[in-house]
Structure 1
């Protein structure tokens, strides 16, 4: 059984969300990984998940707590409908490598890309 999450810390420049649990273990998830694995109906669809491409440079613009069990992540591409339970975040972290490889395979099969459609340079 996973230990309860006690802290989330977002590194804006690196676009990484750290998950710290009560045992002191830290796991990190990229904003891109979180965006393409959003639990929202928009991404999950009704049965077959929708492939989300072109999110390599996406960032998290806001994190809003939802009770003591979840957070709502708002991404800088406008996506804001996913409710990430702490259990789901821990599931993503524990399966990160497998999920990432599956995502890359789906991109390749669809001839899609992680690269943004429009290259935007931050100042």
Structure 2
């Protein structure tokens, strides 16, 4: 079964969140940081299995704009210059449905790498 299409999408620049509302009364708010570190772009995912690049220092990233990509995706333009990922409706819905799991995996990967969400600093023990 295909993922549902959002019936409303709102960009909240001040809080740096993207709000998605679906017809089945499901409502989600995804932070710009979450969307940025889970970008479907080759820059983030890599060009093959296991070639992804851990995104660090994205805590304060914002969203400059949104552009529809046909009837199947949303292009998110981030204020750090990243704009190459197309978020299909299926991928956005998946990010909503599995937010906690994906976010916790990301935080664990940061910790394992000794990296941080804040700037380009290295975490110190």
* TM-score (norm. length: structure 2): 0.89
Task: Find the aligned partners of 2:23 and 2:72 in 1 and give their Cα distance.
Answer: 14
In 2, Cα distance between equivalents of 1:106 and 1:13: 28
Aligned residue runs from structure 1 range 24-35, under 5 A: 24-35=25-36
Distance 2:93 2:120 in 1: 30
Root mean square deviation, CA, Å: 1.4
Equivalent residue, structure 2, for 1:8: 9
Corresponding pairs, count = 118
2:81 to 53, 78, 82: 78
> Following superposition, which runs of at least 4 residues in structure 1 exceed 6 angstroms of deviation?
none
> Equivalent residue of 2:103, what SS?
helix
State the alpha-carbon separation in 2 of the partners of residues 117 and 107 from structure 1: 12
The gaps in structure 2 that reach 5 residues or longer are none
How far 1:106 moved relative to its partner? 0.3
TM-score (norm: length of structure 1)? 0.90
Q: Find the aligned partners of 1:4 and 1:13 in 2 and give their Cα distance.
A: 25
